[in-house]
Chains A and B, each alone.
Chain A
Amino acid sequence: MILNEIDMTQLLSLLTFNRDEPMLFTSGLFWVLFLLFLPVYAMLKSRRKKMMIFVIAFSLYFFYKSSGVFFLLLVATSIFDWWVAQFIESSKNRTERRIALTVSLVFSLGILLYFKYCNFFMSNFEAVIGGNFQPMDLIMPVGISFYTFRTISYVVDVYRGKIQPVDDYLDHLFFLSYFPCLVAGPIVRSCDFIPQLQQNKPATREMIYGGLWLVMLGILKKAVFADYIAQYNNIAFGNPTGYTGFELLMAVLGFAMQIYCDFSGYSDMAIGLGSIMGFDLGINFNYPYRSLNVTEFWHRWHITLSTWLRDYVYIPLGGNRHGKVRQHFNLMVTMLLGGLWHGAAWTFVVWGAGHGVALCVHKLCKPWLDTIPSTRISRFFSWLLTFSFVAFLWIFFRANTFEAAGQVITGIFTDFEWAYLPVFLKRRFVWCLMLAIIYGLHFVPRRTWDYLRVRFIDAPWWLKLVIFIALIQLVLQFASATVQPFLYSQF
């Protein structure tokens, strides 16, 4: 009887590609599927080949659910680059090897440029020549920026002789399609990942429950903190002229924390899932807002991206090997590309350029800065300056247009009054509390986190369950919680 009522197409739509509903680690569907995935994975773990085929199938489905038939692009890229790597290894002719590398780079970057930057470049070109460009309705395959960088690093490392190409194509496809890293990194290198895959060590209890702990931290950061804080930031950045300087400053501080919780939360979930499956994916964020200068910030922020840019852009450009001027030029180019990688808009380019200039200035001033005694006061001001600068540049990262960024900056500098503080605290108390908690957690020592992680791993099963349920309930509570949009009601 019930079957008469079932609309199977509706039910199937839940499991098929929907561009508006990409499968993310915070979605209920992912966890239901992961629940089905886990026992099969655990049973196949010791049988490497079967385990690999199963994980690849799951990963490709994961990619299909978010990007539709474009999962075939990933398969095509993996076949092509696996073959190119084999060719580079077998060829003794340097020119042939170079041509193969160039073709691979053109292929990988060509796909990325087409899907991510085509509309951007075309609209700019049309703006220059005065045309009337209509943006194409392109679906950007989810995670294309991440897997493109991973495949490039693989081919380049083979070309440089840093690693041997993998003989088994499945190893390469497994590496490239590995679902925890597919959507938003970390940008794991083949040289770090493939040996783990080939050794296929069983996942220990510490790895499995340590992974769960990381996943939970990631969910807390992403689904509770970032998503809640984002509400007010969206409101203020959506209509900067409707807000006072104080409110806009709070939105900037809020966005600094939102983007940290968002990026690092998702990374934590990916790394945690990797750990559950027995893989060490490294770390991607290391308390970035503790940094005392911009160089240190880039050693702590999105580490796998910054090291990728260092190894595959900055150093090939010449790094610091050709004098100061060239080094600064290389830094600027690297950071401009890094900015553009984050999004196809000039605001991202300005964000990258700002960081590039800051890195150059820091390098220039370093001899003088090193003479300043390291005291609490000097460290505090170093931190304040670094954080303020990083937060300021986030304005360009977040604002949709330069006009909006200008309005935010103008508002902060021309319409700022501390008088709004008590009202702001009163009307948006939970928001302020969350911001304070995230800032506070940033200064909890790593050993404390390690201690809590170990305590969680050693906790009885039922206590872990209670903590997990409490966390998910927290997510549900905050999923529909709203931030007061206006301090003084005018609507």
Chain B
Amino acid sequence: MNKPYWGLWSLLLAALVFFVVLSFWQDGIRVGGLDIKTATFARDLGARMTTHKQTADTADAEGLLPNGHHVKGWRAPMDTTAKSILFIGDSMLEGLAPRLAKYCDKNGHSLVEVIWYSSSTKVWGESGRLAELIAKYKPNYIFICLGANELYVPDIKRARRPHVKKILAEIGDIPYVWIGPPNWDEDTGINDLIEQEVDEGCFYLSANDSFERSRDGAHPTRPSAHLWMDRVVNWLNTTGAHPIRLEKPESGISRASHIVIYQPPV
């Protein structure tokens, strides 16, 4: 190998070694207030080399896998008791929550609605606000609608996975349904990410639904959002992992017992 080729090769090798070593700091390195991002070599390789087989064979009698997720197709029996429901999310709740409130009125549930405008999994994950809300309102069922503000986030699985995990950790053992964003364009992976992280039967994929949009081209119109909520409830009681008593009311909306609004994060 001639000298310039040797020089180039050693340069590339040195750079590779440098970034591979740094990649073991998977959450990045903080230097003087600046977050130094690291490459994903270690994480990617680790993910490919230590895949535990999570199969039905390893599930317990409750259908629970060693990783805490349920096996595919597992469903709890219908819970007909009155629920204290907490519904959190972004501005999509403006259309969804009033319709869910109508269901709650008919079926004897109480509903607390928390809209945090412009919020995302990152905002909720970093804030710890969900844990506070759970401590305050003590819900025994949770609805979440988040992801619409993250359709275009690059490298989203890396960037947002810790936040999705954090939200799920704050929910803990409380049964929940995560309603995916109503895509108006192809996303960069938010739906995949949520689906990968949530428990089996706890994610409603809205991306394939069709909506009538409001003037901003993104939010469903109110009637369209009400139909969206109807589809979520229908899915929950036919396919969802934690069905609860939610008989369909006549058309129309109602008001949650308590509504909390947070201004957009700065």
Q: Which residues of A contact B (CB under 8 A)?
A: 2, 5-7, 10-11, 13-14, 28, 31-32, 34-35, 38-39, 42-43, 202-205, 208-209, 212, 227, 231, 234-235, 238-242, 276, 461, 464-465, 468-469, 472-473, 476-477, 479-483, 485-486, 489-491
Interface pair A6/B49, CB less than 8 Å apart: yes
Q: Looking at the complex, which one of A28, A42, A480 makes contact with B37 (CB distance below 8 Å)?
A: A480
Interface pair B117/A464, CB less than 8 Å apart: no
A464: chain B residues at CB < 8 Å are 11
A489-B117 CB under 8 A given contacts A35-B12, A231-B154, A238-B152:
yes
Known: A10-B47, A239-B185. 9 other contacts (CB 8 A): A28-B40, A43-B1, A205-B4, A208-B7, A231-B154, A239-B217, A479-B154, A480-B154, A489-B118
Q: Looking at the complex, which one of A43, A240, A477 makes contact with B217 (CB distance below 8 Å)?
A: A240
| Binary flags per residue of B1-38, CB closer than 8 Å to A gives 1, else 0 | 11111111111111110110000000000000000111
Interface pair B91/A480, CB less than 8 Å apart: no
| Binary flags per residue of B139-178, CB closer than 8 Å to A gives 1, else 0 | 0000000001101111100110000000000000000000
Q: Which residues of B contact A (CB under 8 A)?
A: 1-16, 18-19, 36-41, 47-51, 90-92, 117-119, 148-149, 151-155, 158-159, 184-186, 215-219, 264
A11: chain B residues at CB < 8 Å are 48-49
A472-B90 CB under 8 A given contacts A14-B48, A242-B217:
no
Residue of B with least CB distance to A473: B36
Interface pair A241/B215, CB less than 8 Å apart: yes
Residue of B with least CB distance to A4: B50
Interface pair A203/B148, CB less than 8 Å apart: no
Interface pair A239/B154, CB less than 8 Å apart: no
B118: chain A residues at CB < 8 Å are 486, 489-491
A469-B159 CB under 8 A given contacts A239-B218, A490-B91, A491-B117:
no
A241-B13 CB under 8 A given contacts A476-B37, A490-B91:
no
Interface pair A39/B1, CB less than 8 Å apart: yes
Interface pair A28/B216, CB less than 8 Å apart: no
A38-B12 CB under 8 A given contacts A238-B184, A491-B149:
yes
Interface pair B184/A208, CB less than 8 Å apart: no
Q: Which 10 A-B pairs have the closest CB atoms?
A: A238-B185, A489-B264, A489-B118, A42-B5, A241-B217, A10-B48, A42-B1, A205-B4, A239-B217, A242-B216
B158: chain A residues at CB < 8 Å are 480
19 examples of A-B residue contacts, CB within 8 angstroms: A2-B49, A5-B49, A11-B48, A14-B48, A32-B16, A43-B1, A205-B3, A234-B185, A238-B185, A239-B184, A239-B218, A461-B11, A465-B14, A472-B19, A473-B37, A482-B159, A483-B152, A485-B152, A491-B218
Distance between Cα atoms of A468 and B48 in the complex (Å): 28
A31: chain B residues at CB < 8 Å are 12, 16
Interface pair A227/B19, CB less than 8 Å apart: no
Residue of A with least CB distance to B158: A480
B216: chain A residues at CB < 8 Å are 239, 241-242, 490
Residue of A with least CB distance to B266: A489
Most chain A CB neighbours (cut-off 10 Å) among B8, B118, B155 = B8
Residue of B with least CB distance to A486: B118
A205: chain B residues at CB < 8 Å are 3-4
Distance between Cα atoms of A245 and B120 in the complex (Å): 26
Distance between Cα atoms of A337 and B47 in the complex (Å): 45
Interface pair B48/A7, CB less than 8 Å apart: yes
Most chain A CB neighbours (cut-off 10 Å) among B18, B49, B92 = B49
A10-B51 CB under 8 A given contacts A239-B218, A482-B154:
yes
In the assembled complex, the CB of B97 is this many whole angstroms from the nearest CB of chain A, namely 15
Interface pair B4/A203, CB less than 8 Å apart: yes
Q: Looking at the complex, which one of B148, B153, B185 makes contact with A482 (CB distance below 8 Å)?
A: B153
Most chain B CB neighbours (cut-off 10 Å) among A239, A480, A481 = A480
Interface pair A28/B39, CB less than 8 Å apart: yes
Distance between Cα atoms of A31 and B39 in the complex (Å): 13
Distance between Cα atoms of A11 and B218 in the complex (Å): 40
Distance between Cα atoms of A91 and B95 in the complex (Å): 75
Distance between Cα atoms of A485 and B154 in the complex (Å): 12
In the assembled complex, the CB of A109 is this many whole angstroms from the nearest CB of chain B, namely 31
Q: Looking at the complex, which one of A10, A34, A38 makes contact with B49 (CB distance below 8 Å)?
A: A10
A42-B38 CB under 8 A given contacts A482-B153, A490-B91:
no
Residue of A with least CB distance to B183: A238
Distance between Cα atoms of A476 and B18 in the complex (Å): 13
Most chain A CB neighbours (cut-off 10 Å) among B2, B4, B18, B51 = B4
Distance between Cα atoms of A246 and B130 in the complex (Å): 37
A231: chain B residues at CB < 8 Å are 152, 154
Interface pair A35/B218, CB less than 8 Å apart: no
Residue of A with least CB distance to B263: A489
A227-B154 CB under 8 A given contacts A7-B48, A42-B5, A476-B37:
yes
Interface pair A461/B117, CB less than 8 Å apart: no
Interface pair B4/A209, CB less than 8 Å apart: yes
In the assembled complex, the CB of B17 is this many whole angstroms from the nearest CB of chain A, namely 10
Interface pair B4/A204, CB less than 8 Å apart: yes
In the assembled complex, the CB of B123 is this many whole angstroms from the nearest CB of chain A, namely 11
